[in-house]
Amino acid sequence: MPKQPLKIEARKSPIHGNGVFATRKIRKGERIVRYVGALRTHEDVDEAYGEVEENGHTFLFTLNDDYVIDANVRGNIARWINHSCDPNCEAVVEEDDKGRPEKDKVFIEALRDIARGEELTYNYGITLDERHTPKLKKLWGCRCGKPDCTGTMLQPKR
């Protein structure tokens, strides 16, 4: 059986730093890539990165109430997918069917058809407990350039 051509590649992005681009047409609903990295507890992540000054750039993905995927360690190409206010992908958490939170997984799936050469994006859904000050909004600034861009990756308070 012939190999499927790769769906994606990483390269410089007009949005920010590196990005991930489709190397062939990707259909709506298609599972594109799994987001991988070291599995760590929230406490481990706080200990490892708590003293690091935030810079609006993260490879940490909250998996569930117990765990975070740290793509700084053993991360794959998915860590380079940029945020957008009008994304063409979404991150989908697949819970383990036996209820083991350490076995949950994150996949990036297409929200719509994606053309060859198009950059993949998803909404990071960053939530912070503290007040969203102008300084924090700027720190977590969105660079997607879409007409309806909110200017920040931070999600509105509920």
**Per-residue tokens: 122:** 């998803």
Distances (CA, A) of 108 to 29, 56, 135: 10, 21, 30
Mean pLDDT of 8-29: 97
Q: Give the pLDDT band (50/70/90) at residue 4.
A: low
Report d(CA 123, CA 141) in Å as an integer.
13
Q: Which residue matches tokens 């993260």?
A: 58
Q: Which of 155, 158, 133 is nearest to 62 (CA)?
A: 155
pLDDT digits (tens, 9 = 90+) for 50-99: 888 777 778 999 999 999 999 999 999 999 999 999 999 999 999 999 99
* CATH homologous superfamily for the domain 8-125: SET domain (2.170.270.10)
pLDDT digits (tens, 9 = 90+) for 28-47: 999 999 999 999 999 999 99
**Per-residue tokens: 92:** 């989908």
Domain boundaries, the chain: 8-125
**111: which DSSP letter?**
S
Phi and psi angles of residue 154, each rounded to the nearest 5 degrees, phi first? -70, 135
Q: Give the pLDDT band (50/70/90) at residue 146.
A: very high
Q: Give the pLDDT band (50/70/90) at residue 128.
A: confident
Containing 49, the helix (H) or strand (E) segment is helix 42-49
